[in-house]
Structure 1
């Protein structure tokens, strides 16, 4: 499909602008294919009897995690299998070099730019149902309150028994007939959410925009709903990442995801914002508690969530070997945390897994891992920045396409963040977040806006407030 000026309605312009690779080097592909052909699992225990399942967006093929949650007489046991890329990627080989250059999978509406060749990421290394796969298998025992009491990770062969999506799992839970492997997920998930709020974890329930095919060669904007299963499943991943961080800190070697605590001035600024929005915030209540208690769909809540994004700026990666860094925690998580649960899609997770596997087994961390550690923060920081820019460019492009023939039209909007004579506004239909000009724009208020321009070349849209008649 093409725009009115004959330009193809695809994201090739974004790919070109950010110089995204179209294919893997021949040597890297050959290594991946050879690794699949030569794979041996002699150092993996057999855990194929565990009834693991996966929960991912519909149609996903790069499946990093599979889980099984058990209820025990004194609490819970979480089995969490993570794709084992260390089995396939030869250290310092051609594939390793290319994966380090990419840093992470870049997702675009018309297809991703994968971190690993599809023969691995959507094939032999993916935890697809019915397929025997190598994994880093985490076993976390928790007491009746949902607090970890014992952590273990080892290499194991696993076989997922089913592939689910969030809405499907939510429907079975709501109907009272969940799959046995995740029947205990709601109970453990709720406990972990309660712990997160007590830790001070900051969760912003802002609408998540997505670009999807309209079925006719064009594109449409949608909002991805986040249901309870989504939140509970995320808690299992966070629990595993926190467990990994605890192993790293105890061993004195690792790479953590870190974020400094916001200063008192930032929190007080957020309190003033809450007051201006009419949101009650008792003096002794934490940021996490007040955000968790909001009604996510109210305009005032959306505005405060947007303001609270300022508290989460400055996240990075901190590598250490021998001496613990001054900062070991992530303020948004409310604890020490490490990325280990998405190695198909994120470079740092493979190295984090190798560290945890060695520490858990009482073995030295491999020298090749130690050699790469100092460079990981820079590699991940660069790829995070690129992924963020590409994501924004794709959203901006889709917004301009969707609105191109609606210049002059009026829409209902919520003011998310106001500054002087401009603001960021959220339109519910179509779901757009954009800049708007006007006087006395009320943060958290509902206003009427008019579309002034939708430039599909510059990927920009602009609105103005429609003054009350």
Structure 2
């Protein structure tokens, strides 16, 4: 009988990668009707032909002399963005190259139809299901180092305070000279040996973050649950993005805001919207902050307030969880004339109009935004074919996004329960981050009071039938684990139940 690989020194909670692989295979088999795994033959033929096309130089600038660099997780090969940053006499210039996916994927082609069916790349614990065939997304369309690649290049001129003064967008030929990885870049910066462009990225990112706070924008400083591969094993951990990742995100946000402004000024495009929190939700959040002993000063924006919270503190962690109620209702809004521009065009968390435009290898909508923005930047009208397609994209993104979120959550549940097996029967300290009373819609009629708790090790959250208040530190026991059903049951520890 074959045996599972075992490491005598593996961290507790590690799971054999083969176990996870088999579980994900089974999960995808259950979702076979909704999750496309294989590309249609016609789409693959188109991808091979597109990959072999000679890159035309007409109507395309040559930026191969610019030493672009990419910044991504170390293992990424679907590289959407490359940057070149420089200081000017009175500010900064940001050249931001975005993979020119439309060069390879024509409107209404087999590749286009399949991309609309997929919507986005799915990231699962042991694999990814790409939006485009890998010959494109991890090959000729990716901004890999020392490869001449077609790209849209944004030129963003900033003043000394980081405000955008001028915007341009062109289709170019580019060549990245180096692939940088977040963790190594952050370690180098912390050690005083940072890449010069990464030092400048920190500087620009900090200025843009200050501008975000000033305009009332907000972001949640919460840990991310991630699956870490360690040889033949995988494990879960809580991870807070490194500071350089936040700086990099500011460049992407700035570009998305520039794209939105360009589309709004020209009367056609697709925005990423988020309605502002209603006053009732804001008042409730203020009361929650007061109860947790973290009053929200009236003269401080909620964005500035949220940035001060530290998820390592139990009360802060609970309040950050409550803050998610202020960030609900994100959607896409397409418009093909000034009359169709949505009444509230802003993305409330960013506190400005915004569009997804920097990840076309991995997200469908960005390809259409880039095409529309390029037409506007060149003083042209988008083609009728492109305008006709805009109205179909929001629904495609909504449907595929919901499917992706469900699948990714189920896959994480699989890893969680497999990892929790070794802790069955043990008791843990946890922080209460949410409380629901009997009769609330989420609990179901007649259900007992429940609390959601977050554990540090193992790195999971769980609902527990007990009563406590957000911010309380409690003891819970892992009563049972059923990996086949992807279900773990936590209960109040005896000292809590007494």
Query: TM-score, structure 2 length as denominator?
Result: 0.91
Name the counterpart of 1:270.
Answer: 285
Matched, 1:315 2:343: no
Structure 1, residues 330-368: CA drift from partner, whole Å, max 9, x if none?
111111000000000000000000001111011121222
Name the counterpart of 1:35.
Answer: 50
Structure 1, residues 205-244: CA drift from partner, whole Å, max 9, x if none?
111001233433x431122231110100000000000000
Contact 1:449 1:464 in 2 (8 A): yes
| Aligned pair partner of 1:197 in 203, 210, 213 | 213
Matched, 1:332 2:345: no
Name the counterpart of 1:133.
Answer: 149
Give the 3-state SS of the residue equivalent to 1:104 in structure 2. coil
Contact 2:20 2:414 in 1 (8 A): no
Aligned 1:28-427 pairs, distance under 5 A: 28-42=43-57, 43-216=59-232, 218-322=233-337, 323=339, 324-420=341-437, 421-427=449-455
Distance 1:10 1:141 in 2: 49
Contact 2:145 2:176 in 1 (8 A): yes
Contact 2:222 2:240 in 1 (8 A): no
Distance 1:390 1:201 in 2: 30
Give the 3-state SS of the residue equivalent to 2:400 in structure 1. helix
Give the 3-state SS of the residue equivalent to 1:463 in structure 2. strand
Gap change, CA 1:229 and 1:346, over 3 Å in 2: same
Give the 3-state SS of the residue equivalent to 1:183 in structure 2. helix
Give the 3-state SS of the residue equivalent to 1:209 in structure 2. strand
Gap change, CA 1:373 and 1:184, over 3 Å in 2: same
Name the counterpart of 2:25.
Answer: 12
Contact 2:74 2:181 in 1 (8 A): yes
Name the counterpart of 2:464.
Answer: 436
Distance 2:185 2:64 in 1: 22
Give the 3-state SS of the residue equivalent to 2:345 in structure 1. coil
Distance 2:27 2:209 in 1: 37
Distance 1:356 1:264 in 2: 35
Contact 1:10 1:110 in 2 (8 A): no
Distance 1:390 1:203 in 2: 25
Contact 1:32 1:95 in 2 (8 A): yes
Tell me which moved more, 131-140 or 43-52: 43-52
Distance 2:421 2:189 in 1: 42
Distance 1:8 1:78 in 2: 41
Deviation for aligned residue 1:68: 1.4
Distance 1:246 1:414 in 2: 42
Structure 1, residues 356-412: CA drift from partner, whole Å, max 9, x if none?
111101112122211111111100001111111111111111111011232211111
Deviation for aligned residue 1:291: 0.4
Unaligned runs of 5+ in 2: 6-14, 438-448
Structure 1, residues 88-136: CA drift from partner, whole Å, max 9, x if none?
0122111111111111101111211100000000000000011110001
Query: TM-score, structure 1 length as denominator?
Result: 0.96
Unaligned runs of 5+ in 1: none
| Aligned pair partner of 2:473 in 433, 440, 446 | 446
Give the 3-state SS of the residue equivalent to 1:351 in structure 2. helix
Deviation for aligned residue 1:7: 9.7
Aligned-residue CA RMSD (Å): 1.7
Contact 2:23 2:414 in 1 (8 A): no
Deviation for aligned residue 1:195: 1.0
Structure 1, residues 18-39: CA drift from partner, whole Å, max 9, x if none?
3222211111000011011123
Deviation for aligned residue 1:318: 0.2
Deviation for aligned residue 1:8: 6.8
Deviation for aligned residue 1:455: 1.7
Matched length: 466
Distance 1:126 1:23 in 2: 20
| Aligned pair partner of 2:485 in 443, 458, 461 | 458
Contact 1:300 1:445 in 2 (8 A): yes
Contact 2:125 2:412 in 1 (8 A): no
